Amino acid sequence: MNVVSERTNLVGAERAPEGVSTLSLPSPPLQGSSQTQSRPLRVLVLATLFNFPYRALRCAHAAGAEMYVLGNAGARGLRFSRQCRRFFLSESIINGDRHEALALEINCLVRDLGIGMVMAGDAPSTRTLIASRDLIEAPCFPMPSLEVFDFLNDKWSFAQLCTKLQIRQPRTRLFANAAALELALANGEVAHPLVAKPLGRSGESGVVVVDGVDNEKRLRTINYRPVLVQEFIPGCDIGASIYVQDGRIAAFVAHRFWHQTYSILGIDSIFCDLEKIAGHLNLAGVYNFDMRLAPDGSVYYLECNPRFFYKINLSMLAGINFVALGLPNMRRVDTGLVVAAGPVRLPKALLYSLLTTGRCSRRDWAAAHYLYSDPVPYMMERLKLTV
């Protein structure tokens, strides 16, 4: 497939491995203009944690929205953000289930504050909002059906989908528990190095690398069941993010985060693979995919996050605001493509660049301004006071 955009090239993007070509996409439909609004769109963020919702909140605010948060105790730190107009502590436990009492809380805030859109900031709140959205009296950010969310949020079912669509992935097995995995290792049924992980947790939670060193000790740290086991792929971690409308990709970026630097990758095959997934499931909303890039340029898919993702703010700084694409009547969105952008450097990488080259780019200054313009959340994260 050859997708061409006259406005986009990959000058300045991180060089793809030898034999891997680059790709650009057409722009997505414009989302309208903020000039048509008498006041900013008021957005209510549903949250159980801090780190993921905070990044989504900053992206929505950057698009011109006025931000409010309804959350559990784990999200209370969001009240310290300069971009959060007000935080409301929910009387309901947001645990991923359909919740009529929570929907009533949301609807009261919708009426009292004039909320124009409700969106979820993390995995539990996303599932709850999907399950309860027929009870909500305001538009919700585009999301998949509950069935599709559960399917993609499960690493084993995602692996089966990759097999069905002929998308490359590591050899993957599912074991009932850690004891079954230990027995399979002893019998030679599976061989290390391998990676064990839970089916539905996010980030690195529960991930155990078994490489022949202290196997028994490492296996004892597995406190979940069943256990997904994948062949360890040499190489580096990469990712890709998409915004989808009616099963068609409207925005796409492939990226790598290494040494505190977020870089754009140009690899045609990633877009082609994600286009298969988006069309097959008729997706809507934002999705992020974790992958491994092997030394020979092969890409292996590990998992899908059918929600806002941790690096969504870095994607915004690089040129694509995935949150803005789902908000109605927001300020103009120019990008929906593989952007011709230099790297986004966080403070340590920026300092290294200054010391070694004596220069930094406008994008570097924009990243620094983004971090330091909201100082309390930045310090909270640096001191590991948030989750």
Domain containing residue 312: CATH number: 3.30.470.20
- Does residue 242 lie within any of the structural domains? yes
Residue that wins the pLDDT comparison between 276 and 212: 276
- pLDDT category, 82, cuts 50, 70, 90? very high
Identify the CA nearest to 68 among candidates 102, 36, 41: 41
> What Rg, from alpha-carbon coordinates, does the chain have?
21
Mean pLDDT value across the chain: 88
- Are 242 and 302 part of one and the same domain? yes
- Are 205 and 251 part of one and the same domain? no
pLDDT(267) > 60: yes
The side-by-side arrangement of strands in the sheet containing 117-120 is 84-89, 66-71, 42-47, 117-120
Identify the CA nearest to 157 among candidates 299, 261, 306: 306
- Are 337 and 255 part of one and the same domain? yes
- pLDDT category, 116, cuts 50, 70, 90? very high
Strand locations in the chain, DSSP E?
42-47, 66-71, 84-89, 117-120, 172-175, 194-197, 208-210, 227-231, 236-245, 248-258, 261-265, 285-293, 299-305, 344-345
- Are 117 and 218 part of one and the same domain? no
- Does residue 19 lie within any of the structural domains? no
**Amino acid 371: pLDDT:** 92
- Are 79 and 60 part of one and the same domain? yes
**Amino acid 353: pLDDT:** 82
**Amino acid 330: pLDDT:** 65
Six-digit token string for 368: 């620094």
- Does residue 177 lie within any of the structural domains? yes
List pLDDT tens digits, range 25-64.
Answer: 444 444 444 444 478 999 999 999 999 999 999 999 999 9
Domains identified in the chain, total number = 3
| CATH label of the domain that carries residue 90 | 3.40.50.720
Lowest mean pLDDT among 112-121, 247-256, 333-342: 333-342
Question: Nearest 10 degrees: CA dihedral of 367, 372, 373, 378?
Answer: 110
- Does residue 191 lie within any of the structural domains? yes
**Amino acid 206: pLDDT:** 86
- pLDDT category, 209, cuts 50, 70, 90? very high
Identify the CA nearest to 339 among candidates 10, 6, 5: 10
- Does residue 250 lie within any of the structural domains? yes
- Does residue 353 lie within any of the structural domains? no
pLDDT(387) > 50: yes
- Are 224 and 263 part of one and the same domain? no
Question: Nearest 10 degrees: CA dihedral of 89, 377, 236, 161?
Answer: 20
Q: Of 141, 163, 179, at which residue does a domain stop?
A: 141
- Are 183 and 257 part of one and the same domain? no
- pLDDT category, 339, cuts 50, 70, 90? low
Identify the CA nearest to 171 among candidates 199, 151, 191, 198: 191
- Are 251 and 222 part of one and the same domain? no
- pLDDT category, 341, cuts 50, 70, 90? low
- The pTM score is 0.88
- pLDDT category, 331, cuts 50, 70, 90? low
- Are 256 and 179 part of one and the same domain? no
CA atoms 78, 81, 83, 86: torsion sign: positive
- Does residue 200 lie within any of the structural domains? yes
- Are 183 and 240 part of one and the same domain? no
- pLDDT category, 337, cuts 50, 70, 90? low
- Return the axis-axis angle of helices 123-132 and 146-153, rounded to nearest 10°: 160
Lowest mean pLDDT among 78-87, 147-156, 311-320, 350-359: 350-359
**Amino acid 1: pLDDT:** 41
pLDDT(233) > 80: yes
- Are 303 and 278 part of one and the same domain? yes
- Are 263 and 282 part of one and the same domain? yes
Q: Of 202, 231, 260, at which residue does a domain stop?
A: 231
Q: Of 141, 160, 194, at which residue does a domain stop?
A: 141
Q: What is the extent of the structural domain holding 309?
A: 236-345
Strands 208-210 and 248-258: unpaired
Lowest mean pLDDT among 10-19, 177-186, 293-302: 10-19
How many CB atoms sit inside 10 A of residue 357's CB? 8
- Does residue 25 lie within any of the structural domains? no
Q: Which residues contact 318 (CB under 8 A, 6 or more apart)?
A: 253, 255, 262, 264, 339, 341, 344, 363
